[in-house]
Amino acid sequence: MRIGVLASHEGTVLQAVLDACADQRLCARVSVVISNNSDSGALRRARDARVRAVHMSSATHPDGGALDHAIAQCLEDADVDLVVLAGYMKRLGPATLERFKGRMINTHPSLLPKFGGAGFFGDTVHTAVIAAGEHESGATVHWVSGDYDAGPIIAQARVPIADTETPASLEKKVKVAERALLIDTLRALAKQTRPMKIV
């Protein structure tokens, strides 16, 4: 299975995928990594792994429609079977969403549908979970739709929340669960030549 990854920041989830491919826990390979941040750790990690690394943003494509089509074309040129949004902080355009409909997944650091949607990312998620008095949190992998964190859920992993939990400590626990969940999900999808389209 050929994977295209979109990431905005350090790329720790990407690194988990690269490592799983390298040590053959995952029968797949990352074909291209796209980031909207030219200085992102994700692009550095891709280059270190000898994976094509591409910066695409309003700096490279000032017109939003042109950027959308360029991202879709880049993924298509890499002949990806599945697109993984791994901490990608930009809304995808209609061309990319349509071309890869049913072949694009996202990871989110909470148990959706709670604590998802616009504005729920990074520390904001974990702070909100603790403030709500939740007894558990976790990670979700879901199919991507046009709205933030709104696509059908594929799988979830749960972690307990201790009485002394802080947003930082919860983030660490969720990140471990998120990486393992994504690899398990990708392993299941890799058993298919082409992932089934989920509409």
- Give the CATH number, domain containing residue 161: 3.40.50.170
Q: Give the chain's domain count.
A: 1
Range of the domain at 77: 2-190
Helix ranges, 9-122 (H): 12-22, 41-48, 64-77, 94-99
Annotation marks residue 108 as catalytic? yes
Active-site residue, from 9, 108, 126, 142: 108
Contact 98, 92 (CB under 8 A): no
In a domain, 152, yes or no: yes
pLDDT bucket at 197, cuts 50 / 70 / 90? very low
Q: Which two tokens stand for residue 47?
A: 């280059």
In a domain, 199, yes or no: no
In a domain, 198, yes or no: no
pLDDT digits (tens, 9 = 90+) for 90-137: 989 999 999 999 999 999 999 999 998 877 878 899 999 999 999 999
In a domain, 163, yes or no: yes
In a domain, 136, yes or no: yes
Contact 102, 197 (CB under 8 A): yes
In a domain, 44, yes or no: yes
In a domain, 113, yes or no: yes
In a domain, 195, yes or no: no
pLDDT digits (tens, 9 = 90+) for 12-69: 999 999 999 999 999 999 999 999 999 999 999 999 999 999 999 999 999 999 999 9
Cα dihedral sign for 126, 109, 85, 44?
A: positive
